[in-house]
Amino acid sequence: MDRVVLRPGRERSVLKRHPWIFSGAIDTVKSSSAEGPVEVFSAAGERLGAGYLSPASQIRVRMVPEDTIENLVASAVGRRASFFADGYTTAVRLVNAESDGLPGVVADCYCGFVVCQFTSAFAERHKDEIAAALMKYDPFCLGVSERRDCDAREKEGLATGPAFSVLLGEEPPDAIEICEGQVKFLVDVRSGHKTGFYLDQRDARALVGPFANGREVLNCFSYTGGFGLFARACGASKVVQVDASAGALALAKRNEALVHMCGTEMEYVEADVFRFLRECRDRGRSFDMIVLDPPKFAASKSQVMRAARGYKDINLLAMKLLRKDGILATFSCSGAIGAELFGKIVAEAAEDAGRDFQIVAHTRAGHDHPVMLSFPEGEYLKGLVLRAV
C-alpha cells in the first residue's frame, strides 16, 4: 500500500491517537496518487496506522480506524439507538465525523431523512458506501441526501455545487416536521443552515426553556425560533425573536403556529443583533431573559482576539438590558475559543456592566455529538446560563 513517512518526533500526536496529520509533519509521501488510502510510518519505521491522503487540504492525512466503512457507520448509528427510544426527538446526529471514526462525515437524521455533509477527501470518496450503510443500519431511514454548500468543502478543495442532492431513497419534503419534546420545528434541509437545523443546541433549548415561564424573553440570533419557541411553550409572557435572516424568521413564524400555547406575545425583528441591542439600550428597553446564540465569530486561531471583542460586546450589552433576577443564556460555537476563555470573556463583560451573576449551568452539545477524548478540536460548543443577582 502507499505510505506516508513522518518527520522525526512528529509521530507523537498520532501515538496520542489524534486523527489529523498536517503537511508540516510529513517527510515523504510514497504514493501513486495525491489522494487515497495510505499506511503511516514514523521516521524510525514504526507502523502507526492507516490514513487517507487529502490532496488539497492543510490536513494532508486523516487517520482512519482499520475497519470497514459499513462497520463504522453501523457502530455510529447503533450508538444513537437510545435517542429514538423515548420519543423525545425525531432529529438526531447519526455520525459526528472524526469522533465517530469517519473523518469529515456528518449525518443528521430528520424524521427518517438523513442529510450528510462530506468535508474531506476520504468522505467524498466513500459517500455512496456511507449512504448505503446509513440506509441499511438506520431502521427509520427513508432517504439519504447531501449538502455541498459548506465552507469546509471549499477549504478541502471539494466542489461546492449543486448545493443539495439526493443520494439514495426518497426525496425529502420542502419542510420536514421534527419534534423536541412538546416543541415542533419545520426544517428546510435544502437551504437551511448546516444540514438544516442546530441539533447541537437540543439540550440547551430544553434546559433554558423553563426559565422563561412568565417572563419577557429576548432571543438573539433566533434562526428558525429555537430557544424562543421553547420559551413560548414554557409560558413566556412575551418573546422577541431577532435574526438577520428573513428566511429564518419566516420559518420561525411558521413554527410558532406549531406550539400549542396561547398567551405569549410574539415579536419578530429582522436586524443585526449588535445594532438591535444598542437600540434597546438607547431606548431603555429591558428583559427578564436574554439568549445569545451567535454564529461562529472565530473561524481560526488568528481570529480569536477579534471574536473575543465581539462576544464581550454582545454579552455586555445584554447584561445591561437584564432586569433583576434575569437569566442570560450565552453561547459560543467557535472551536478556537475554549470554554475557559469564553468564561473569562463573559466575566469581563459582567465586570464592565458592574453586575453580579450566578452560574446556573454550563452547557455543551448533546450526547449525539460525542467528542473523541484525543480530539479536542471536536469540542466547539459551550454555553453558560447565568442569573443576574
Residue 220 annotated among the catalytic residues of the structure: no
> Cβ of residue 220: shortest distance to ligand SAH, in angstroms?
7
User: Mapping DSSP to helix (H, G, I), strand (E, B) and coil, where does residue 51 land?
Assistant: strand
Q: How far is the C-alpha of 120 from the C-alpha of 142, rounded, in Å?
A: 25
Which of these ranges, 35-43, 78-86, 218-226, 231-239, lies near ligand SAH under the rule CB under 6 A? 218-226
38 binds ligand SAH (CB under 6 A): no
108 binds ligand SAH (CB under 6 A): no
137 vs 274, beta carbon nearer ligand SAH? 274
Going residue by residue from 120 to 159, which x/- string records binding to ligand SAH, judged by CB under 6 A? ----------------------------------------
Q: How far is the C-alpha of 263 from the C-alpha of 235, rounded, in Å?
A: 8
245 binds ligand SAH (CB under 6 A): yes
Name residue 44's amino acid.
A
For 201, phi and psi rounded to 5 degrees?
Answer: -100, 10
For 33, phi and psi rounded to 5 degrees?
Answer: -140, 165
- State the CB neighbour count (10 A cutoff) for residue 148: 19
User: DSSP for 327-383?
Assistant: EEEEEE--TTS-HHHHHHHHHHHHHHHT--EEEEEEEE--TTS---TT-GGG---EE
256 binds ligand SAH (CB under 6 A): no
51 binds ligand SAH (CB under 6 A): no
178 vs 322, beta carbon nearer ligand SAH? 178
Near ligand SAH by CB under 6 A: residue from 42, 57, 201, 264: 201
User: In the complex, which residue's CB is closest to ligand SAH?
Assistant: 226
Cis peptide before 162 (omega within 30 of 0): yes
Segment 282 to 301, residues that bind ligand SAH, using CB under 6 A: 293-295
193, three cell numbers: 443552515
> Cβ of residue 9: shortest distance to ligand SAH, in angstroms?
41
272 binds ligand SAH (CB under 6 A): yes
Q: How far is the C-alpha of 266 from the C-alpha of 272, rounded, in Å?
A: 19
User: Mapping DSSP to helix (H, G, I), strand (E, B) and coil, where does residue 119 land?
Assistant: coil
**Catalytic positions, written as ranges:** 333
Site residues, ligand SAH (CB under 6 A): 198, 201, 205, 221, 223-224, 226-227, 243-245, 248, 272-274, 293-295
